[in-house]
Chain A
Amino acid sequence: MRFERNSLSAILAVACLFPLLVSDQYILHLAIMVLFYAVLATSLNLIVGYVGEFSLGHTAFLGIGAYAAALLSLHLGLPIYLTIPLAGLIAAVFGYLIGLVTLKLEGPYFVIVTLAFAEVLRLIANNWIGFTNGPMGLAGVSQPAILSNATPLATKQVYYAIGLLVAAFALYLAYRFVHSNAGRAAVAVRESRYVAQSIGVSPFGAAMLAFILSAGLAGLAGGFYAHYISFVGPDVFQFAFMASMIIMVLMGGKGTLLGPLAGALIVTLLEEYLREVQLLRLTIFGLIVMAVVLFLPRGLLGSLARRRETYSGTTSTKPAGGAA
């Protein structure tokens, strides 16, 4: 708990200093994508790593967030500091509705039904031309007002700051959840539904809280993405995002807060630098993933970042020990 808190604080400090040291647009773009994927991977990890169900439809919430932010911005003219939070809230509401159906299921059934929801949403985005503009997508999502006369570099710097804010907020919520009683209940459900019920945990309720939180975080990421790319099309529901998220969570180490961050960093950079080998890119990518799953089944940080709770580690904590 303390280890994770200290590591996260250190990462946050480095992330804050980063734009002061780097003034290359391309590197900043990569850093922004790392932040975006860090939020997505953290979000997916809440379900895969803590509740222990495998969601293949997480792009549903990413897409809902992206479309929500784009539509709110285009039709209502809302500024970015309202659209991104609203995107998160709307995705969370959808998380609740989809959770009502999917969380009654377990194992492969859960996987299939979540996948189906994402696919249904993709079809809606593609075909409801009046609302989503279909395959043409929604272009020209508004930019923050202060960027009206900004240089391309300043634009990247501002988006980096916004991305960092969103990521820090997402990690704060995830950290609080994971180390709360509700988070322990979710882990109990992951470990054994029988034990969870016999200690008074409602598996459905515990999983639902994690699911709503996870959907909300994915929605925030989607809202951020909509503004940054300034275009949202049905592609946001595509499986490629899902694949990246899964790889990040598994490679980094599910069930830890640091693992998905490491995964987001590594996978984003790999995806970028493997562009040079063109067609071989996905093949090499696949091989790396297979190697990680075979040789490091708990992920790169699985054993390192999974610090166990100990009693001795907490007795010295003063009552204010819960502060971040």
Chain B
Amino acid sequence: MNNPTGTAPLLRAEGLNMVFGGITAVRDLSFDIGGGEIVGLIGPNGAGKTTCFNMLTGFYRPTEGRVFFQGRDITGLKPYAIARMGVVRSFQKTNVMKNLNVFENVLTGHFLAARQSLLDTFLPRGHVARTERAVRDSAAEIIAAIGLAKRMDAPAALLSCGELRLLEVAVALAARPRLLMLDEPAAGLNSHEATEFGEVLKTLVGPHVQSLLLVEHNMSLVMGVSHRVIVMNFGEKLAEGLPSEILANRDVVEAYLGKAAE
């Protein structure tokens, strides 16, 4: 936004602070996410990653600092308003619509694409049926792209852990985000599933979403997928750089493994 060349980042966080009572969960966090990027956000448990997610998506209002999306200030907007602008997230604790099947979940995810006037809800005209068909086709395409085609008609309650994580991503994709934010999408997956999941994620950027922000503990997944990695520790940004730089960073290793005895 204050970039004269016009290549404003897709999302910019400026000096985010989040204070709960006397505890500062996130302190002075700033970063950018550019178009076409996959950014990994890592850090030990309690580092403030999910708090950061909640601030970016409007579930929390930052105590201080601002969030800009495509140059517009979105700080403090309601979560659904932020989703309508194109920032869609998944949740750390698996969160799908359990009583619906896979197709219904993803169809419901098309809420924004299928919005219609009150009159069209009760007296639908031709274009409503066309939209409806389009979103149904789109739902089927997304399910196929994410690799759940075989489970299309299965109730979400019967899916395996790995399938549920995929379904979450499919529902998020259905909202047609520009920036997709995934909170520990590979939690509960074994290493083989996680690798496959990473391959799926890579295919999303470009055709489905502009950029991806990923919170993840599975290092091989994050390092294999991300173009850039941000490390948080105790609520602050500890390091930022290419995956190879992060892996070689002494501070990061210390944060994860502790200090070596001198």
Interface on A for B, CB 8 Å cutoff? 173, 176-177, 180-182, 184-185, 187-188, 191-192, 194-203, 209, 255, 308-312, 314-315, 317, 319-322
Q: Which of B4-12, B126-134, B206-214 contacts A (4 or more CB under 8 A)?
A: B126-134
Q: How far is the CB of A226 from chain B (nearest CB, A)?
A: 25
Whether A322 and B90, one on each chain, are in contact in the complex, defined by CB atoms closer than 8 angstroms, is no
Whether A191 and B99, one on each chain, are in contact in the complex, defined by CB atoms closer than 8 angstroms, is yes
Whether A198 and B97, one on each chain, are in contact in the complex, defined by CB atoms closer than 8 angstroms, is no
Select one of A173, A191, A194, A314 contacting B98, CB under 8 A: A191
Identity of the chain B residue whose Cβ is nearest the Cβ of A52 in the assembled complex: B99
Interface on B for A, CB 8 Å cutoff? 57, 59, 78-80, 83-84, 88-91, 95-101, 103-104, 107-112, 114-116, 118, 121-124, 126, 128-130, 132-133, 136, 139-140, 152-153, 155, 171-172, 174-175
Identity of the chain A residue whose Cβ is nearest the Cβ of B106 in the assembled complex: A311
A182 to B103, CA, bound (A): 17
Whether A319 and B139, one on each chain, are in contact in the complex, defined by CB atoms closer than 8 angstroms, is no
Q: How far is the CB of B111 from chain A (nearest CB, A)?
A: 5
Whether A198 and B122, one on each chain, are in contact in the complex, defined by CB atoms closer than 8 angstroms, is no
Q: How far is the CB of A321 from chain B (nearest CB, A)?
A: 6
Identity of the chain B residue whose Cβ is nearest the Cβ of A177 in the assembled complex: B121
Q: How far is the CB of A250 from chain B (nearest CB, A)?
A: 16
Using a Cβ cutoff of 8 Å, how many contacts connect chains A and B?
A: 125
Q: Which residues of B contact A188 (CB under 8 A)?
A: 97, 108, 111
Q: With A194-B95, A200-B175 given, is the CB distance from A181 to B114 under 8 Å? A: yes
A1 to B155, CA, bound (A): 17
Q: Which residues of B contact A319 (CB under 8 A)?
A: 126, 129-130, 133
A136 to B87, CA, bound (A): 59
A319 to B126, CA, bound (A): 7
Which of B80, B110, B133 has the most chain A CB atoms inside 10 A of its CB?
Answer: B80
A319 to B91, CA, bound (A): 36
Chain A binding surface SS class? helix
Q: With A199-B108, A200-B175 given, is the CB distance from A314 to B116 under 8 Å? A: no
Chain A to chain B contacts (Cβ below 8 Å), 24 pairs: A176-B121, A176-B124, A181-B110, A184-B111, A184-B114, A191-B97, A192-B96, A194-B91, A194-B95, A195-B96, A197-B83, A199-B88, A199-B109, A199-B111, A200-B111, A200-B112, A310-B101, A310-B152, A311-B136, A311-B152, A317-B133, A319-B130, A322-B124, A322-B128
Select one of B100, B116, B174 contacting A180, CB under 8 A: B116
Whether A309 and B107, one on each chain, are in contact in the complex, defined by CB atoms closer than 8 angstroms, is yes
**5 shortest interchain CB distances as A-B pairs:** A191-B97, A197-B79, A181-B114, A200-B83, A322-B129
Q: How far is the CB of A183 from chain B (nearest CB, A)?
A: 8
Q: With A194-B95, A199-B175, A319-B130 given, is the CB distance from A182 to B121 under 8 Å? A: yes
Q: How far is the CB of B16 from chain A (nearest CB, A)?
A: 19
Identity of the chain B residue whose Cβ is nearest the Cβ of A184 in the assembled complex: B108
Q: Which residues of A contact B140 (CB under 8 A)?
A: 311
Q: Which residues of A contact B172 (CB under 8 A)?
A: 198-199
Identity of the chain B residue whose Cβ is nearest the Cβ of A173 in the assembled complex: B122
A194 to B89, CA, bound (A): 10
A319 to B175, CA, bound (A): 23
Q: With A191-B97, A199-B172 given, is the CB distance from A181 to B111 under 8 Å? A: yes
A176 to B117, CA, bound (A): 13
Select one of A176, A197, A311, A315 contacting B122, CB under 8 A: A176
Q: Which residues of B contact A195 (CB under 8 A)?
A: 91, 95-97, 171
Q: Which residues of B contact A321 (CB under 8 A)?
A: 129, 133
Q: How far is the CB of A173 from chain B (nearest CB, A)?
A: 6
Q: Which residues of A contact B88 (CB under 8 A)?
A: 198-200
Q: With A180-B116, A195-B96 given, is the CB distance from A308 to B124 under 8 Å? A: no
